[in-house]
Amino acid sequence: MPSSIAPPARPLNRNDYKTLSLSALGGALEFYDFIIFVFFATVVGKLFFPADMPEWLRLMQTFGIFAAGYLARPLGGIIMAHFGDLLGRKKMFTLSIFMMAVPTLIMGLLPTYAQIGLWAPILLLLMRVIQGAAIGGEVPGAWVFVSEHVPPRHIGYACGTLTSGLTAGILLGSLVATAINTIYTPEQVSDYAWRIPFLLGGVFGLFSVYLRRWLHETPIFAEMQQRKTLAAELPLRAVLRDHRGAIVLSMLLTWLLSAGIVVVILMTPTVLQTIYHFSPTVSLQANSLAIVTLSLGCILSGALADRFGAGRVLIAGCALLLATSWTLYHSLLDHPNWLFPLYTLTGLFVGVVGVVPYVMVKAFPPVVRFSGLSFSYNVAYAVFGGLTPLVVSLLMKESPMGPAYYVAVICTMGMLVGAYLWKRGR
C-alpha cells in the first residue's frame, strides 16, 4: 500500500474533533438503543408473551430475544464491512445507525400479545435481529472511520474516545431506566411508560443519522478509490487467507474487551446484590460511577498507547485491573464501605480496553481493514460475550470469588498479548 495514503503528521484540528464528537455521540445513542431492552426485560416479557406462561419460561424467552441481537451481530457486521471496504466507510457508518434507530422506534410502538397474539413476540424478535445486525456494523465501522480520519500518531486517542462514547451509551440506558422507574408507578410503567425509552432512542437515533450527513468519507478510503486500489476480490476471503495472525490477535483482545465489560460492568451489580447483599440502589449508584471512570479510562489508555505503544499500556493496565478487581471481590464482605472507591478504581482500569481497537485497526491493511476488524471482533464477541456469563455463573457456584478468577485469567492473557506487542515494537 502506498505510504502516501497515510495522513501527514499534524496535530488534531477542528474537523478531527468534529468527526470524533459526532461519531462518539452516534455510537453512544446506538449503544443505548441496543441495551435499553435489557433494563425493561421483565415488563416486556409480561406484555409480549401469554399471561398464563410460567414466569421462568417467559423470562427465558425474553432474554432469548435479547440474545438474538448478539447472534445477529457477526452476520450483520461481516456484510456491512464487505460493502464498507468496497463502497465506502461513511455509507455503512450512516446505514448502521439508521438500522438501529428505526427498529428501536418500532419497538416502542408495537402492539402487545393481548392485542395481536403470537405476532407480538415474532415482530419483537425481528426488530431485535435487525438491531443486532446494525450494532455488528457500527462498532468496527466507527473505529475504522475515526482512525482513518485522524493523523497516525493520534489513532489511539481517537479509538479510545469512540470507545468511551459506546460505554457512555450503557450509562445513558441505566440512567433513563432509573428515571422512568422513579417517575412512574409500576402500573404506569407496565401500561405505557416502558415505551418512552424506546421512542426516545428511535428519535435520538434518527437525529444522529441527520448529524452524520456532515461527516466526510475517510481520506484513506477516498485515496484508495482514486488510485483504484480497492479490494479486487471478496475482502473477507483475503482476510482469512492472508491475515490469520491479525485475526487471532484481534479475537484475543476482543475477549479481553468483552470480559471486562460483561463481568465488571454488566454482571457485577447483580453480584453485589446477591453475594454481598448491597441494595439495588447502592449497587446501581456504584455501577454508574464505575462506568464514568471506565469512559475516562478508555480515552486515557488510547492516548497513552499513542505515546508509549499498545504493548506497554496493555501490560500495565491489565496488571492494575487484576489487582483492583481481585481486591474488590475479595474485601467487600469484610469492608462493605470500600465499595465506591474500589469499584470506581476498577472501572477506571477496565478502561484498558480502549487500547483494543488501536491494535486491531493497525493489524489490518486499509484495503481489507473493515472486513478484517469486523469479522474478528463480531465472531469473538458472539462467542466470548455469550459464554462469559455462563462460565462466571458456574465459577460462582464454587466460590463467591468466581468473577475475580475469570478476570484474573483474562488479565493474564492481556499481559501476555501486551508482552508480544511490546517485543514487536507495537
Predicted pLDDT of residue 228: 60
14-230 to CATH, choices 1.25.40.10, 1.20.1250.20, 2.40.128.120, 3.30.950.10: 1.20.1250.20
3-39 pLDDT tens trace: 444 445 677 777 888 888 888 887 888 788 878 887 7
Give the whole-number percent of the chain exceeding pLDDT 70. 94
Asked whether the beta carbons of 247 and 398 are under 8 A apart, the reply is: no
Mean pLDDT of the 323-335 span: 92
CATH code for the part of the protein at 233-426: 1.20.1250.20
189-214 pLDDT tens trace: 989 999 999 999 999 888 888 877 77
Q: Where in the chain is the domain with CATH 1.20.1250.20?
A: 14-230, 233-426
Check whether 226 has a pLDDT greater than 90: no
Query: By C-alpha distance, which of 72, 42, 74 is closest to 59?
Result: 42
Asked whether the beta carbons of 254 and 380 are under 8 A apart, the reply is: yes
Predicted pLDDT of residue 1: 40
Query: By C-alpha distance, which of 199, 45, 201, 195 is closest to 125?
Result: 45
334-388 pLDDT tens trace: 889 999 999 999 999 999 999 999 999 999 988 888 888 989 998 998 888 778 8
Which residue type occupies 385? G
- pTM for this model (two decimals): 0.84
Check whether 232 has a pLDDT greater than 60: no
The CA-CA-CA angle for residues 28, 32, 38, to 5°, reads 150
- Helix boundaries (H) for 148-218: 155-183, 186-188, 195-211
133-179 pLDDT tens trace: 888 888 888 888 888 888 888 999 999 999 998 888 888 988 898 88
Asked whether the beta carbons of 368 and 316 are under 8 A apart, the reply is: no
